[in-house]
Structure 1
């Protein structure tokens, strides 16, 4: 089912603790898969996600939307302490750019 239309976000990384590669899926943070090669790891985590999705469908559970297919507005609110807000506003004014530009720049680093 999900294997053919798989649009989820996967990551394969080395786990020093396990002495193997670990496969992760951003939309299913509780799942992981260990294997001795990156290729086997990716195949394993994708199969595990497919099995979980099938189980979710069979139990009428809601399926997570893939991050890749979500529409993002580019807006979100972040609360920061007033002194940091002031500091950023000063940096923005001194640089001749907007507060939004300064914050965006710092978040992208």
Structure 2
């Protein structure tokens, strides 16, 4: 079961709040916080589509680029053992650790 909705190239992770009895989500990959909620999945899909459409329209109206830009630089911490294994895997392929990590991340996101 997927908990992600996609519309016009935008995605949102969907969650359920049992206390309030609602489904809710927030558009991912944008600078602004744009959320939506509904009581049913069908209503949630409609609310998501409306949120994306409203966001795109608002950005166009105010002359703002809607998508978040990314620098391409990522820094994160690994355990020394995973770092060693990754470095060896890259070396055995004859590529840099950075190239190896990019390939692995690309495959994981497709």
Contact 1:23 1:44 in 2 (8 A): no
Structure 2 SS opposite 1:21: strand
Q: Measure the CA separation in 1 of the matches of 2:8 and 2:85.
A: 44
- 1:90-109 deviation per Cα after TM superposition (whole angstroms, max 9, x unaligned): 8x6xxxx76859xx4xxx6x
* Divergent runs of 4+, >4 A: 75-79, 87-90, 97-101
TM superposition shift of 1:41: 0.8
- Aligned length, in residue pairs: 89
Bigger RCO (CA 8 Å, 6+ sep) = 1
TM superposition shift of 1:21: 0.8
- Aligned counterpart for 1:83 among listed residues 76, 80, 85: 80
Consecutive unaligned residues of structure 1, counting only runs of 5 or more, are: 66-74
- Aligned counterpart for 2:27 among listed residues 15, 25, 28: 25
Larger Rg: 1
**1:58 alignment counterpart:** 61
Structure 1 residues 35 and 88, CA gap change in structure 2 (3 angstroms): same
Structure 1 residues 87 and 31, CA gap change in structure 2 (3 angstroms): same
Q: Measure the CA separation in 1 of the matches of 2:51 and 2:38.
A: 13
TM-score if structure 1 supplies the norm length?
0.54
TM-score if structure 2 supplies the norm length?
0.54
Contact 2:12 2:27 in 1 (8 A): yes
Consecutive unaligned residues of structure 2, counting only runs of 5 or more, are: 1-6
